[in-house]
């Protein structure tokens, strides 16, 4: 959907996806082993964006460098259930070697809890994507005991589901914010010596 939700961190920010991001989306998702195949051409990507803009309760973001505007990746909050006041977050893809993981997760939770007022968010990670499963464990999210079946490119796959409730968010926030802050200080130090 078209939205105006943004979140600015110390080093990275989330901003709404725009039509002009089609080429970046295509590029950053291409060849990624743990996400749906998605668009295979710029035209298909533009068509996906057009359908996304028509969809309600679906927030897609570009993760970008706050200083340069350089895009580092994508992330989304979707399947918003206003009755249960919860949503899924995912479609999380960062370009190889990007250091934006911790701060982009922090910003997603900031949007979910502070801006959208959700009581809980959850994410589903393909079970074989072990480092991302570990990331959510390391953040302090609650891992569900039972794997869930998801469909990727028409095929059933097993995914690990993690939950974060609003009451546990301050603990996760402290952990992620401390890392994001130290990483951002490095950027400031480099800028002041160049």
Partner 1 sequence: MSIASEREREQRIQELIVRVLRIDAPVVALVRSEIPEWDSLKHMELVFALEDEFGVRFDEAEFAALVSPGEIANIIKEHLAS
Nearer to partner 1, 31 or 154 (CB): 31
Nearer to partner 1, 45 or 104 (CB): 104
Nearer to partner 1, 9 or 22 (CB): 9
Residues near partner 1 (CB under 8 A): 96-99, 101-102, 130-135, 137-139, 175-176, 179, 182-183, 186, 189-190
Nearer to partner 1, 43 or 134 (CB): 134
* Smallest distance, partner 1 to C-beta of residue 159, A: 15
Residue 140 backbone class (left: φ over 0; alpha: ψ -120 to 50; beta: rest):
left
* Smallest distance, partner 1 to C-beta of residue 174, A: 13
Nearer to partner 1, 40 or 137 (CB): 137
* Cβ(13)–Cβ(7) below 8 Å: yes
Nearer to partner 1, 60 or 101 (CB): 101
* Smallest distance, partner 1 to C-beta of residue 153, A: 23
* Smallest distance, partner 1 to C-beta of residue 43, A: 32
* Smallest distance, partner 1 to C-beta of residue 107, A: 14
Q: State the SS3 of the chain.
A: CCCCCCEECCCEEEEECCHHHHHHHHHHHCCCCCCCCCCCCHHHHHHHHHHHHHCCCCEEEEEEECCCCCEEEEEEEEEEECCCCEEEEEEEEECCCCCCHHHHHHHHHHHHHHHCCCCEEEEEEECCCHHHHHHHHHHCCEECCCCEEEEECCEEEEEEEEEEEHHHHHHHHHHHHHHHHHHHHHHHHHHHHC
Structure tokens at 65: 């460098």
Beta bridge partners of 7: 14
* Smallest distance, partner 1 to C-beta of residue 97, A: 4
């Amino acid at each position: 959907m078209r939205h105006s939700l943004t979140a600015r961190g110390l080093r990275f920010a989330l901003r709404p996806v725009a039509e002009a991001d089609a080429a970046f989306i295509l590029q950053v998702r291409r060849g990624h082993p743990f996400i749906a195949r998605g668009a295979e051409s710029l035209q298909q990507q533009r068509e996906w964006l057009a359908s996304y803009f028509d969809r309600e309760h679906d927030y897609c973001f570009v993760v970008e460098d706050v200083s340069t505007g350089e895009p580092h990746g994508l992330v989304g909050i979707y399947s918003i259930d206003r009755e249960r006041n919860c949503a899924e977050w995912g479609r999380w893809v960062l370009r190889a070697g990007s250091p934006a993981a911790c701060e982009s997760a922090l910003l997603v939770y900031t949007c979910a809890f502070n801006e959208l007022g959700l009581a809980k968010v959850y994410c589903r990670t393909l079970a074989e994507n072990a480092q991302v499963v570990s990331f959510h464990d390391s953040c302090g999210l609650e891992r569900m005991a039972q794997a869930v079946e998801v469909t990727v490119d028409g095929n059933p796959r097993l995914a690990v589901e993690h939950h974060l409730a609003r009451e546990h968010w301050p603990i996760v926030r402290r952990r992620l914010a401390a890392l994001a802050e130290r990483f951002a200080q490095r950027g400031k130090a480099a800028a002041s010596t160049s």
